[in-house]
Structure 1
Amino acid sequence: MSRTMSSTPRSDTSQAWAGGLTAFAAVLLFIAGILDFFRGIMAIANDDVYLSTPNYVFKFDLTSWGWIQLVLGVIAMAVSVGLFTRATWARVVGVGIAALLIIANFLSIPYYPFWSLTLIALYAFVIWALCVVRRED
């Protein structure tokens, strides 16, 4: 009997904790998606904003890179809406899109180093928040 009473508050506490982390991940994913969206618009509209690095190993056309950032940012914002509903598919896709965006931001470090590192940190927190929560049956 004592065990049953003590397991109920833990369950409620763990559900609140899981909901809080999922909301945290959703908000971070939405904010980082907006930043990537605007970063993509900057690259498409005027790629003189970015630093030019002639000897960088990964060379990309900044306009096409802008489209990649824009599309990934829109997907990240859409997935964050799914995270607010606590959909399981959104957690799985959220980890995947955050991982893709970490790679994309890593490849764009020479063009815009501060924002790339900032977004890498945000997406790492998103992955952590989505992976640390256990699914309740």
Structure 2
Amino acid sequence: MASTGSAPAAPQGTDGSHHPFRTGWTAFAAVLMIFGGVMAVFQGISAIAKDDVFVATRNYVFQFNLTGWGWIHLILGIVIVLAGCALFTGALWARVVGVILAGLGALANFAWLPHYPLWSLVLIAIDVFIIWALCTDGSGRAKA
């Protein structure tokens, strides 16, 4: 049958149902969320262990000690990894949770900037890309 130029059909699941949100960008965002979450877990473990790689700053607005920041990053990282795994289901709620958690991750890394600037900037960039990938449908066309 010849193509009439219409949009391609949404991918079908194993049960025959349509998953309109399962696109290449969503899968890529899921992989990035898992990677970013694992990096946040390592960041948290390193801070809890009071590793010497972090800079001690004085008179910083967000006055948590290094162990406090470590627990924040550890817990947030675990939740981000779990949400990244949930994105592979193609569920809309997983996309919404992914956007919210990527935003929280970007905020946490922004507050973490004085302790490890390069690591924070890389994770902020990953979080921004995750938000973009989850908010687009990947077709490049506006939805009506």
TM-score calculated relative to the size of structure 1: 0.86
Give me the whole-angstrom Cα distance separating, in 2, the residues matched to 1:125 and 1:37: 19
Give me the whole-angstrom Cα distance separating, in 2, the residues matched to 1:63 and 1:52: 12
> What is the CA-CA distance between 1:118 and the residue it aligns to?
0.3
Give me the whole-angstrom Cα distance separating, in 2, the residues matched to 1:72 and 1:16: 28
Give the 5 Å matches for 1:21-100: 21-100=25-104
Which of the residues 103, 106, 109 maps onto 1:102?
106
- Contact 1:91 / 1:130 at 8 angstroms: preserved in 2? yes
**Partner of 1:86: helix, strand, or coil?**
coil
> What is the CA-CA distance between 1:48 and the residue it aligns to?
3.3
Counting matched residue pairs gives 131
- Contact 1:47 / 1:62 at 8 angstroms: preserved in 2? no
1:19-65 Cα offsets, whole Å, 9 max, x none, are 10000100000000000000000011124331011132222111011
Which of the residues 104, 115, 118 maps onto 1:111?
115
> What is the CA-CA distance between 1:13 and the residue it aligns to?
8.4
Aligned-CA RMSD value:
2.5
Partner letter of residue 76 of structure 1? I
- Could you list the runs of 5+ residues in structure 1 that have no partner in the other structure? none
Q: Write 1 or 2 for the structure with the bigger share of helix.
A: 1
- Contact 1:79 / 1:94 at 8 angstroms: preserved in 2? yes
Give me the whole-angstrom Cα distance separating, in 2, the residues matched to 1:42 and 1:75: 18
Give me the whole-angstrom Cα distance separating, in 1, the residues matched to 2:52 and 2:69: 13
- Contact 1:58 / 1:107 at 8 angstroms: preserved in 2? yes
**Partner of 2:23: helix, strand, or coil?**
helix
What residue in structure 2 maps to residue 122 of structure 1? Answer: 126
- Could you list the runs of 5+ residues in structure 2 that have no partner in the other structure? 12-18
> What is the CA-CA distance between 1:17 and the residue it aligns to?
9.4
Q: Which runs of 4+ in 1 moved over 6 A?
A: 13-17
Which of the residues 11, 15, 19 maps onto 2:8?
11
Give me the whole-angstrom Cα distance separating, in 2, the residues matched to 1:90 and 1:65: 26
